[in-house]
């Protein structure tokens, strides 16, 4: 059995962003040489997310509006976490909703996706370096 590990780094200019990272993940599969196995892709920071969904602009706008209703950024004073000098409590909550990772089967050297599925990096407290781990295990 083979094992492959790579870190992808992101630094978004905005506080929140949704980035389709499927092409980078496909590059990782090709680099690994693994044809059959499992891929784990996870955010290595507690205010970012990796998730699977459709790459459709309207849906991304809907996600942003929905998440902001669930955990509005402002006023910062509404969150106890922000009493520690932080201003990102909403980002922690958004990450909790969107999840930490995606696990996908690798079959025939490709992501074994359903229709329209893509892998996204969700940033909820950007403007600094953050990383995503890609781990592939198989043969």
Residue range 70-102, pLDDT digits in tens: 999 999 999 999 999 999 999 999 999 999 999
CA-closest candidate to residue 7, choices 15, 21, 20 = 21
Cα Rg, the chain, nearest whole Å? 16
d(CA 91, CA 18) in angstroms, rounded, equals 13
For 100-134, the pLDDT digits (tens) are 999 999 999 999 999 999 999 999 999 999 999 99
Catalogue the E-assigned strands of the chain.
Answer: 2-10, 17-20, 37-43, 48-53, 101-107, 110-111, 118-123, 130-138
Q: Would you put residue 109 in left (φ > 0), alpha (ψ -120 to 50) or beta?
A: left
For 32-52, the pLDDT digits (tens) are 999 999 999 999 999 999 999
pLDDT bucket at 18, cuts 50 / 70 / 90: very high
Question: Which tokens in the block code for residue 82?
Answer: 């922000």
Q: Would you put residue 29 in left (φ > 0), alpha (ψ -120 to 50) or beta?
A: alpha
CA-closest candidate to residue 18, choices 95, 111, 81, 103 = 95
Has this prediction a pTM greater than 0.85? yes
């Amino acid at each position: 059995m083979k094992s492959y590990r790579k870190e992808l780094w992101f630094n978004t200019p905005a506080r929140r962003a949704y980035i389709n990272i499927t092409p980078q993940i496909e590059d990782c599969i090709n680099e690994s040489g693994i044809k059959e196995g499992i891929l784990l892709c996870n955010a290595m920071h507690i205010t970012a997310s990796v998730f699977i969904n459709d790459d459709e602009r309207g849906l991304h706008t809907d996600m942003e509006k929905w998440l902001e209703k669930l955990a509005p950024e402002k006023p910062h004073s509404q969150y106890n976490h922000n009493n520690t000098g932080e201003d990102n409590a909403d980002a922690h909550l958004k990450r909790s909703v969107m999840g930490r990772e995606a696990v996908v089967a690798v079959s025939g050297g490709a992501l074994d996706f359903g229709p329209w599925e893509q892998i996204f990096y969700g940033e909820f407290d950007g403007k600094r370096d953050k990383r995503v781990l890609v781990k592939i295990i198989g043969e």
